[in-house]
Structure 1
Amino acid sequence: MITRPEVLAPAGDMECLNSALSFGADAVFLAGKMFGMRSASKNFDNTQLKQACELAHAKGAKLYVTCNTLPRNNELDFLPDYLSYAQECGVDAFIIADLGVFEAAKKYAPKVARHISTQAGVTNYATANVLYNMGASRVVLAREIPLDEIAQMRAKIPKDLEIECFVHGAMCVSFSGRCLISSYMTGRDANHGDCAQPCRWKYHLFEENREGQYFPVEEHSDGTYLYNSRDLCMIEHIPELVKAGVSSLKIEGRAKSAYYTAVTTNAYRHAVDGFMTNGENYVLEPWIKEELDKISHREYNTGFYFGKEPGQVTGNGGYIRHYDVVAVCEKSIDDTTTEITQRNKFLVGDTLDVLPPSGIPFNVKCVSLTDEYGNSVDAAPHPMQKLTMKSDVKIPDGSVIRKKKI
């Protein structure tokens, strides 16, 4: 029997959380102000954590809190109160890498499920079974495990031990997450969420007697990006993931925007629902795949799932970006009139791409724009400006409005 997999979305702040919930996440993972491996994100203070739990549960979604750093001795004194408070807030699970934290969670937050982070490097059924016997309800597998090995693991672990796997987003060159390059080069500890991402930097050779002369490691006009991993995208392979026994499809991106969260969550929501409805007759609708090209990303690949190396993008370190978010619909006044908040420049007469809360995109034409003083304007050049827009198609409240880059 095939079990419907969970769509698990990232949230680095409250705006991202709302995007994840609005676009169909079954569960959201986020961090408090301590013990979470994304210090670049705003994350959630104690008050926000409680609010996040309430919002998620009101939508019928679960909330998981990352406690996946590898804490030092001087941090452990803060752990009991943090875990206890998270339990009071109603969090559904902790995502944990460290065995000391794992035991502390059992003691100070016994009502909260414990998931094993990808940072723990689980690569086989023996380890998964040991962790299950210790009290883990889920293992987040190391990213280098191919699908056939996941299926083998599923067959050799208890049925109620869930398997979570990453399906989309950035991939670390140190695939099980124990990278020390940032610590060596900048003093910023990746295992405490402070990675400077030196794997994305451009590298050249320098010969000490030829001061000022730099030589690319490979012959590219823009240098060589030695460790720059491609981005993972498994949107075309939902059936294979489900059949292998994956319980939760995890989208990477707690340091990314609310727009990224909305688009990725929406795409995987529709792909999962489509497969669960149609089974063996399932065919991915083209618009779902196209949506994932409307966010900033590096070249996509399928990671290690099919037994190949994902490879590196050595010619550049930048993102592919085909669309800009130009506005957000705050309120639909009637079938042609919408109150919007501008995000990037666009013009009267432009054809715009709308992602509504239903998740199925459509195009509209900007017929006219009026500023907050009632003046007609030809363009929207000021970020966060409030405008009234007339269009040829109704735009629902909460829609994200985009424009294709020329």
Structure 2
Amino acid sequence: MQPTSPANQPALLRAMFDAAVASAQPSLCLAQHLPPAPKGRTIVIGAGKASAAMAQALEAHWPGPLEGLVVTRYGYAVPCERIEIVEAAHPVPDAAGLEATARVRQLVSGLTEDDLVIALISGGGSALLVAPGEGISLADKQAVNAALLKSGANIAEMNCVRRHLSQVKGGRLAAACHPARVVTLLISDVPGDNPVDIASGPTVADPTTRADALAIIERYRIVVPNNVRAFLAKEEAESIKPGDVRLQNITTRIITAPQIALEAAAKVAEAAGYTPYILGDSLEGEARDLGLAMAGIARQVVQRGQPFKTPCVLLSGGETTVTVTGSGRGGRNVEFLLSLAVALDGLPGVHAIAGDTDGVDGAEEIAGAIISPDTLARAWAAGIQPRKSLDNNDGHGFFQALGDSVITGPTLTNVNDFRAIVIDTPTGAA
């Protein structure tokens, strides 16, 4: 099959992104992971950008009595009949999340070994489940969260700090359910799919320590309130560790993950006449550094036919970081793309998309953007200097001005970032 023409590249890029998102919908992947009904009550709890859609899918397939509450991001609620859906703020927590978390904790208190708790956890749950440790206020948690997001720390490091400042993260929520059975259904949005890093692991054991959390704060020179440091110095800041008797009746299942989304996009690429190559589902590092590296690979493909022949598509997932030094609007996917575009410098035949599969890149209601060989030329013609936009961490401002933003609205799922680079220039062309 002949590959699609360059004029249709934006449509192909968007089709791959949409396929990745569609593959991770809870309605497709949740039912086969449900446990049998218990003798006692079934309580559903959860948090994350996909938690409401997960609750809806669960209701559609659960045969018996059901009650519960899940917390999702503002705008991500869907209708449910037996499970209450509460909306709260993300990525910085708010009072609605604080109140909802208190209600979740009350819901799982006093359970018996005949009861079942089904925990629906997805990305975003770290901000949506809010129960600060003793002596830490919501304002303190908000300040720490905002500082972490700007620090350049990766998601595992950020979540280590969050776990040790919480009364629900790091296995504490599962411990509160004891002696009931707990089945956690996870949609992974983290590199490596480690359950303890998905929403900061509220229902799984945590091998990291409060000393690790303090070391991360020091490493990135994160300014935190004095009472936060004081709390981390106390034993009560320690999370629930592997082997804890309260976690003996816990089952954890990942129901979908970034790799599945990349494989769905690969099928779209093949149908369009391109050979797909999945470079990894857990690429990390500074977004602009990854953009520079990917540009080098794309240039080698175009000019040398190495390590892949054209036409091809380079697919990757994971979660990059942005160390914020400017005053722009973020986020990490558009920073990656802007760095990629600057490094490619108009290289013919290379088009790319990057976006967060939850529809929100950084704090903006924008999933990501698309670049093409004429991106820089159009920016200069509009009086925009690409390198200055990159230095100012203003990817969203840059791509919105060009009309190249990708806006999806709430996708009701979250399997991390998606990146695709389409290369159709014949080998040797430059």
- The structure, 1 or 2, with the larger RCO (C-alpha pairs under 8 Å, 6+ apart) is 2
Give the structure-2-normalised TM-score: 0.27
- Give the structure with the larger strand fraction: 1
- Give the structure with the larger helix fraction: 2
Give the structure-1-normalised TM-score: 0.28
